[in-house]
């Protein structure tokens, strides 16, 4: 039937918004008869010990995974082979632009703001050699489409920009848009559940999947957890990680119940939530989190009244 997945980056502890997405991915996968896989996306920032911490947090909530865990750092030769194949087809070119260069150049006509304007797309060999003297090159996909449409369980039909996005960064590391597409296909992942801040990247990834001959997955981009100012949760918001909340006397099962109830689902256990799960009934608005209220609400009454 395929698989769904949760794919955290080991850059720190998971906050309750991350954990809520992990629970949602579990529900989406199991409600459709799919396996639920874990991938560690460790091509960028990695904090020592984070992977073990995150695995312990997911286990504490009762989330179990099928198959073997995948680390992106173990798959570098695979990404290189894919890029080499695209190069052989004339679909990759060197780009010497900095972020500042791109921002100052503006986007191509009819493209979304921030899209790559194609500055390095048609450089001559001499121009590339000159630019290479001053800055290492990233590798970009020579896209043959301007837009691509994906189907999303919550957003419906979504059409977004496809520009000449980066496949390999100028430090030699595979870019996110390349790695996730290749890894999802290799693991048989045909259902992607993640935060809705990544919805705009789905058309690029789906376009690349199609170009590589992969099945484009179904998507469900779920609302983020935000603080009262409408910003993504961060350490400054206080007790937002499992560790910080449990240190104040709250059991992980109570946190899981809190997460499930925030989705309109019964909180007694994952199986009860699965039986009641209906994607069409999920909240569509961001989840506003007030950390001090979480702790007060979930602390045992005896502790609360001290």
Q: Per-residue pLDDT tens for 10-54?
A: 999 999 999 999 999 999 999 999 999 999 999 988 999 999 999
273 part of a folded domain: yes
Annotated binding residue at 303?
no
Annotated binding residue at 131?
no
Summarize the confidence of residues 3-8 as an average pLDDT.
Answer: 98
3-state class (DSSP) for residue 272? helix
Annotated binding residue at 214?
no
Helical pair 291-298 and 252-262, crossing angle rounded to 10 deg: 120
Annotated binding residue at 41?
yes
140 and 240 part of one domain? no
Q: How far apart, in whole angstroms, are the C-alpha atoms of residue 178 and residue 143?
A: 13
Of the listed ranges 160-164, 195-199, 230-234, 251-255, the least confidently predicted one is 230-234
Annotated binding residue at 169?
no
3-state class (DSSP) for residue 15? strand
Annotated binding residue at 87?
no
The count of domains in the chain is: 2
Give the domain extent around 210.
75-185+203-214
Q: Per-residue pLDDT tens for 208-228?
A: 999 999 999 999 999 999 988
51 part of a folded domain: yes
Annotated binding residue at 9?
yes
Q: How far apart, in whole angstroms, are the C-alpha atoms of residue 275 and residue 76?
A: 40
Q: How many CA atoms lie within 13 A of 200 on its CB side?
A: 9
208 and 261 part of one domain? no
Contact between residue 32 and residue 68 where contact means Cβ atoms under 8 Å apart: no
Annotated binding residue at 175?
no
In this prediction, residue 114 has a pLDDT band, given cuts at 50, 70 and 90, of confident
Summarize the confidence of residues 84-113 as an average pLDDT.
Answer: 84
Annotated binding residue at 229?
no
Annotated binding residue at 207?
no
Please tell me whether the overall predicted TM-score, pTM, comes out greater than 0.85 for this model. yes
Q: CB burial class (10 A; 0-12, 13-18, 19+) of residue 301?
A: exposed
Query: What are the angstrom distances between the C-alpha of 248 and each of 136, 192, 298?
Result: 49, 34, 9
Contacts of 152 (CB under 8 A, 6+ apart): 158, 199, 202, 219, 220, 221
**CA 281, 284, 285, 288 torsion: positive or negative?**
positive
173 and 58 part of one domain? no
Annotated binding residue at 107?
no
């Amino acid at each position: 039937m395929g698989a769904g997945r949760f794919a955290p980056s080991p850059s720190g502890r998971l906050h309750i918004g991350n954990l809520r997405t992990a629970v949602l991915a579990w529900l989406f996968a199991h409600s459709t008869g799919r396996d639920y896989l874990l991938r560690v996306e460790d091509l960028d920032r990695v904090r020592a010990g984070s992977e073990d911490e995150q695995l312990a947090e997911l286990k504490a909530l009762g989330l179990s995974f099928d198959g073997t865990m995948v680390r992106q750092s173990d798959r570098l030769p695979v990404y290189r082979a894919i890029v080499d194949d695209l190069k052989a087809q004339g679909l990759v070119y060197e780009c010497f632009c900095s972020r500042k260069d791109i921002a100052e150049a503006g986007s191509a006509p009819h493209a979304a703001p921030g899209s790559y304007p194609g500055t390095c797309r048609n450089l001559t060999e001499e121009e590339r050699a000159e630019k290479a003297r001053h800055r290492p090159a990233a590798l970009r996909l020579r896209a043959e489409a301007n837009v691509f449409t994906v189907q999303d369980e919550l957003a419906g039909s979504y059409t977004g920009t496809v520009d000449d996005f980066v496949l390999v960064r100028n430090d030699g590391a595979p870019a996110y848009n390349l790695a996730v597409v290749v890894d999802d296909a290799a693991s048989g992942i045909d259902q992607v559940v993640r935060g809705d801040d990544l919805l705009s990247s789905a058309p690029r990834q789906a376009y690349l999947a199609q170009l590589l001959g992969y099945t484009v997955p179904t998507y469900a981009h779920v609302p983020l957890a935000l603080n009262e100012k409408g910003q993504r949760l961060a350490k400054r918001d206080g007790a937002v990680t499992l560790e910080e909340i449990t240190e104040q006397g709250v059991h992980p099962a109570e946190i899981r119940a809190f997460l499930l109830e925030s989705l309109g689902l019964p909180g007694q256990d994952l199986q009860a939530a699965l039986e009641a799960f209906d994607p069409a009934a999920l909240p569509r608005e961001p989840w506003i989190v007030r950390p001090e209220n979480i702790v007060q609400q979930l602390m045992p009454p005896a502790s609360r009244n001290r």
